[in-house]
Amino acid sequence: MHKAMWPLMGMVACAAAAWGAPAARDPYIGYVYPAGGRQGTVFRAMVAGQRLNGAREVYISGAGVSATVVGYEGPGGPLNRQQQEELRRRL
């Protein structure tokens, strides 16, 4: 291999490492329950997802809808039998 190829291979290796580096872990909303409400009313909804701890603002696309962060409950873990039955009843 020519000596001139080593710097090129080093640059390719660095570029590959940078391309494969994980991106910043942004908050992710998995679901909102209930999914909506009656137009012109105020209602509470639970938002669940990942990395939501510390959220202070809500961004909503579209007009006529606003939201406020009330609190954070923390990870819930798997639902127990009673919680599963209550969720099925509500759905």
* pTM of the predicted model as reported, rounded to 2 decimal places: 0.53
Evaluate whether residue 45 is within a structural domain: yes
> In terms of DSSP bridges, do strands 46-50 and 28-33 run parallel, antiparallel, or are they unpaired?
antiparallel
Q: Are 72 and 52 in contact (CB under 8 A)?
A: yes
pLDDT tens by residue, 59-80: 888 888 889 998 888 777 777 8
8 torsion bin: left (phi>0), alpha (psi -120 to 50), beta (else): alpha
**Number of separate domains in the chain:** 1
Amino acid at 12: V
Evaluate whether residue 4 is within a structural domain: no
77 torsion bin: left (phi>0), alpha (psi -120 to 50), beta (else): left
Structural domain boundaries enclosing 40: 26-74
Evaluate whether residue 17 is within a structural domain: no
pLDDT tens by residue, 16-51: 555 555 567 888 898 888 888 888 899 888 888 889
